[in-house]
Chains A and B, each alone.
Chain A
Amino acid sequence: MSDTSDTVVRPAGFPSGAAPGPLRRYGPWIVLALLLLVLPRVFSSGLSISTMCVMGTMIIFALSYNMLLGQSGLLSFGHAVFFGLGGFLTAQMMNMMAGGEGPLPLMVYPLVGGLAGLVFGVIFGAVATRRAGTAFAMITLGIGELVTSSALILRGFFGGETGITVDRTEIHQVFGLSFGPQVQVYYLIAGWCLVSVIAMYAITRTPFGRICNAVRDNPQRVNFVGYNTTVVRFIAFSLAGLFAGIAGGLASINFEIMNSAQMGAAESGSVILMAYIGGVGNFAGPIIGAIVVTYLHLMLSDLSDVWELYFGLLFISMVMYAPNGIAGVIMMQRPLIRRGQLLRVAPYYVLALIPGLVALAGLSMIIEMTHQLSISASEGLGMTMMGIAFNADALLPWLTAVVLLGGGGWLGVRAARLAREAYGAAMVRGRVQ
């Protein structure tokens, strides 16, 4: 029966079963580990280190979410539940063991969060994964509401509106690590981040991981090759809960406070944002998304009172114009690089970016002036943007804003069309050569 395959010449790259060399297999992880190791030396300010701590936590959280959305096609609106429950259980355990009574060092506490995430993933997953599609999404939304409102009732455990606080330095210390200095927490988070990223990547390359992709693509057909799609969804949901719980555990160690808002709809929405902006179709997408969104969040909330609005705009434009996220945009350049055409197209990208930024400046002027006129009017109408002071009710700034937005937008659309044409032409040129 196998004679056919023996006579056919295998095309280049065809799976041969030869194990990849150690450099291919472990190289990227070693590079990542080294990178995590030196980052605090490069970005050594207190702000950078605490930002990177949040990023590391969010990378795990966003990747765990993508086990559902990107890998298995499951749109969950309640993923923060597992992050939050993992965080609360870690915090409670830490408070129980405070005073160095427990024998376990702080490093292993994220496992408590992971275990909590797994257990609740199993419990809620047993209900939610009986359905797929819209019904699944609605059930997860309901679970999110259920858990956050229960948290407000069970004040003893969740600490009501204020939440519960912990002191990570009270935990049994080993190797002289007190986890008082933030950089020690950074290495704790970096270590767990590395382990979790490797584990989640490995899972995508197992029989189960591939069947998840098949379920995302065409669940009905999966039934006819022997798989129960409910079981596939259930396992994916439980594992996603495990890793979200680890992220939550790390968050409670990092912030030393857990609040029931961290399990809520806003937090669940934020992880969707991260995964989507980074790109759900690529393993690295949510990593990029977690880093970018955390950074933008920090930067924008410093610059503007209405930063959420900008997030909304970013999200909408990503969904509309780059549905595969930042990772998708990067992956689109790969065929250009292979054809040696990237440098011929790149100027067009810059050409489109400049009017785009001009339009954005105009838009943000309108947003900020409106904000000044309505919400902040009590503080007076004077404001500054980019170092220029003006009045929010003056004509000139409004005219400027409209011209920037209109002109930049018009040029931007034209330039974007040119860039698309250049991309298409480069692909064709590359093929002819």
Chain B
Amino acid sequence: MSNADQGGTAALELEGLEKSFGPTRIIRGVDLTIVRGERHAVIGPNGAGKSTLFHLISGHYRPTSGRIRLDGRDITGLSPEQINRRGLARSFQITNIFPQLSVWENVRCATLWAMGYRYNFWRDIDGLDDVRLRTEEILGQINLIERWDMPAGMLAYAEQRALEIGLALASDADILLLDEPMAGMSHAESQHMVELIRKVSENRTLLMIEHDMGVVFNLADRISVLVYGEIIASDTPERIKANADVQRAYLGTEVA
């Protein structure tokens, strides 16, 4: 299923990536290549810089130095919307939705750019069948059809997390960045989420941050371990499990 071991083309390349806030170096020279079609997990202790790394890739932060390439094209310093239009979508660790809009409007807004409607202010949006079907498809995937007309801010926490993923899925990007999609979910909910992520990442490249080791070892083709802004190992789940550095720096403390 994955071409990770077959040496496929690079979907995402990070080269000497650095990010400092004032004098504090948060990301300290990250080199990483995500191969097209692979499911790649980033793990690491709290405060290691995982979310910051995602903010750099998605254009939310500008790197202090280093380069980022998407499908071989340099995207360093581009704005979030430019990066999104080149086929990279993301979710956020802290739920980031449109709280006053209905669930339906949330997802529909996220489909519009990719479906080519952009800033169109002359077509009746309810008359756009492709948008409607796509919105319904996403709502089906994230199990929110029943909640379609509820203001998103009134959803239960786990439902908001599902919507958060829905917004990332809606733009039909080739590369998905999911920041702790299962955080705070019950076991059953995260079980469903794992299946959903597995399914939607079938024809895509997935880069996700996750704390649950069960999920990570089950879902990922490769795992990178980020500690204090540096990647100390990047390998298959089996070899990461066996890696002594990782044991010491991370697994030993969290998964006893």
Contacts and interface: CB of A to CB of B under 8 A. Distances in A.
Interface of A: 1-2, 4-6, 8, 10-11, 13-15, 17, 19, 202-203, 205-211, 213-214, 216-218, 220-228, 231-232, 235, 239
Nearest to A234: B119
22 contacts: A8-B145, A15-B104, A15-B135, A205-B125, A207-B118, A207-B119, A207-B120, A207-B121, A210-B105, A211-B109, A213-B98, A217-B99, A218-B97, A223-B79, A223-B81, A223-B84, A224-B58, A224-B60, A224-B167, A225-B170, A226-B85, A232-B119
Contacts of A207: 112, 117-121, 123, 125, 128, 131
Interface residues of B, number: 56
A206 B81 contact: no
B129 interface: yes
Contact of B148 (A2, A14, A17, A214): A14
Contacts of A10: 145
B121 A203 contact: yes
Given A15-B126, A209-B125, A217-B100, A224 B90 contact: yes
Interface in B205-245: none
B132 A15 contact: yes
Contact of A13 (B99, B124, B141, B149): B149
A217 B153 CA distance: 11
B71 interface: no
B137 interface: yes
B146 to A, nearest CB: 6
Given A1-B141, A239-B121, 19 more contacts: A2-B137, A4-B137, A4-B140, A4-B143, A10-B145, A14-B148, A15-B126, A15-B136, A15-B148, A202-B124, A210-B125, A214-B109, A217-B99, A217-B100, A218-B98, A225-B109, A228-B79, A228-B81, A231-B119
A349 B137 CA distance: 45
Majority secondary structure, A binding face: helix
Given A5-B137, A223-B80, A211 B112 contact: yes
A22 to B, nearest CB: 14
A17 B121 contact: no
Contact of A227 (B113, B121, B129): B113
B186 to A, nearest CB: 20
Given A4-B140, A207-B119, A217-B100, A226 B129 contact: no
B161 interface: no
A5 B139 contact: yes
Contacts of A228: 79, 81
Contacts of B171: 225-226
B114 interface: yes
A71 to B, nearest CB: 11
A17 B104 CA distance: 13
Nearest to B136: A5
Contacts of B98: 213-214, 217-218, 221
B183 interface: no
Contacts of B90: 224
A1 B139 CA distance: 12
A2 B140 contact: yes
Nearest to B84: A226
Contacts of A19: 127
A220 B145 contact: no
B155 interface: no
Given A5-B145, A17-B132, A225-B167, A208 B120 contact: yes
Contact of B112 (A17, A202, A210, A231): A210
B120 A206 contact: yes
B39 to A, nearest CB: 17
Contact of A224 (B80, B114, B123, B200): B80
Most buried by A among B129, B140, B141, B199: B140
Nearest to A217: B98
B122 interface: yes
B101 interface: yes
A208 B110 CA distance: 12
Contacts of A208: 119-121
A8 B126 contact: no
A28 to B, nearest CB: 15
B191 interface: no
Contacts of B132: 15, 17
Most buried by A among B58, B121, B171: B121
Contact of B96 (A14, A213, A220, A239): A220
Contacts of B118: 207
Nearest to B85: A226
Given A5-B139, A206-B124, A207-B125, A221 B114 contact: no
A17 B126 CA distance: 7
